[in-house]
Amino acid sequence: MATEIRALLDEGAAKLARACDEPRREAEVLLGAALGRSRAWLLANPDEVIIDCEATDRYEALLTRRSYGEPVAYLLGEKEFWSLPLRVGPGVLVPRPETELVVERALAHLPADRDLDVLDLASGSGAIALALASERPRCRVVAIDIASAAVETTRENALRLELVDRVTVLQGAWFDPCAGRRFDLIASNPPYIAADDARVEPGVRRYEPADALFSGSTGLEALQVIAAGAPLHLRPGGWLVVEHGDTQGAAVRAFCSATGFEDVRTFRDLSGLERCTEGRLRG
């Protein structure tokens, strides 16, 4: 049955009203994906009549999946991060805008005119590693994740973005795959949510990988492991930059100070919440 774009979007927004904060916008994104059109085109042609039944069926299927909480990035198979189109899918954490703060702080400590070694722990889709490699061509970046889905996704993204010559992807727990190596900077967006944190959206808890989200009873366990292990894998004067929860800044600063870091500072995200802490290894 032929239907105008405006009506399809109205229907979609109504269906997603309880599933997300921006139902109209997400309906536009999903209809654009189903039609193979940009969101801008949809907004410019609200009276266009769609007669492609297969496309409208795809749209209905996407709306249904999203209404149950499945991330839009999984539905589309892609998520933009640092202006890079990253492939994502089930088993891989969806990159968040907040993590771009880690990239910003890391870049502040990576001069563009030097050959430097960088480690990205818990790399997920490769968001941090690939963003740094794209901005600093002279850096040699190692990305590590324990999950095979994340490792495969990072490798695929590095290939798609033509960054395979700058990014080495390894599988293993934390620092194990790089034993004996030292870096100029270590960056990480590790799991940092407490297992019983009631603030986690049901869709996130249901669909995204638990190992990439949750870290023990306090949420601080992975951050403590990183702060303790980083000094053994950093060159003197090297930097550690980690993302953490909005109530964990003080604890992370304490971890870093206790394990040999100085110039320890916490930075706030665009919402004004403490989100990223850095420190420089003494020496």
Distances (CA, A) of 263 to 18, 21, 182: 44, 38, 20
Q: Which of 101, 283, 92 is nearest to 187 (CA)?
A: 101
- What does the pLDDT look like over 232-279, one tens digit per residue? 999 999 999 999 999 999 999 999 999 999 999 999 999 999 999 999
pTM recorded for the entire structure: 0.92
Q: Which of 199, 258, 196, 197 is nearest to 223 (CA)?
A: 258
- Higher-confidence residue of 212 and 21: namely 212
Q: Is the pLDDT of residue 188 over 80?
A: yes
- What does the pLDDT look like over 127-142, one tens digit per residue? 999 999 999 999 999 9
pLDDT value of residue 19: 85
pLDDT value of residue 3: 83
Q: Is the pLDDT of residue 227 over 70?
A: yes
Distances (CA, A) of 198 to 16, 93, 194, 195, 271: 22, 19, 9, 9, 20
pLDDT value of residue 149: 96
Question: What number is the average pLDDT over the span 8-13?
Answer: 93
Q: Which of 79, 80, 4 is nearest to 42 (CA)?
A: 4
pLDDT value of residue 154: 98
The fraction of the chain above a pLDDT of 70, given in percent, is 99
Name the phi and psi angles at 155, rounded to 5. Answer: -65, -40
Q: Is the pLDDT of residue 49 over 90?
A: no
Distance CA 14, CA 57 (A): 17
Q: Is the pLDDT of residue 1 over 80?
A: no
For residue 200 the two structure tokens come to: 């986690």
pLDDT value of residue 119: 98
Please state whether 248 falls in left (phi above 0), alpha (psi between -120 and 50) or beta.
alpha
Q: Is the pLDDT of residue 72 over 80?
A: yes
Burial 73-110 (b: 16+ CB within 10 A, else e): bbbbebbebbebebbbbebbbbbeebbbbbbebbbebb
Q: Average per-residue pLDDT in the chain?
A: 94
- What does the pLDDT look like over 141-187, one tens digit per residue? 999 999 999 999 999 999 999 999 999 999 999 999 999 999 999 99
pLDDT value of residue 189: 98
- pLDDT range class, residue 48, cuts 50, 70, 90: confident
pLDDT value of residue 30: 95
pLDDT value of residue 2: 55
Q: Which helix (H) or strand (E) holds 274?
A: strand 274-281
CB 68 within 8 A of CB 203: yes
- What does the pLDDT look like over 89-141, one tens digit per residue? 999 999 999 999 999 999 999 999 999 999 999 999 999 999 999 999 999 99
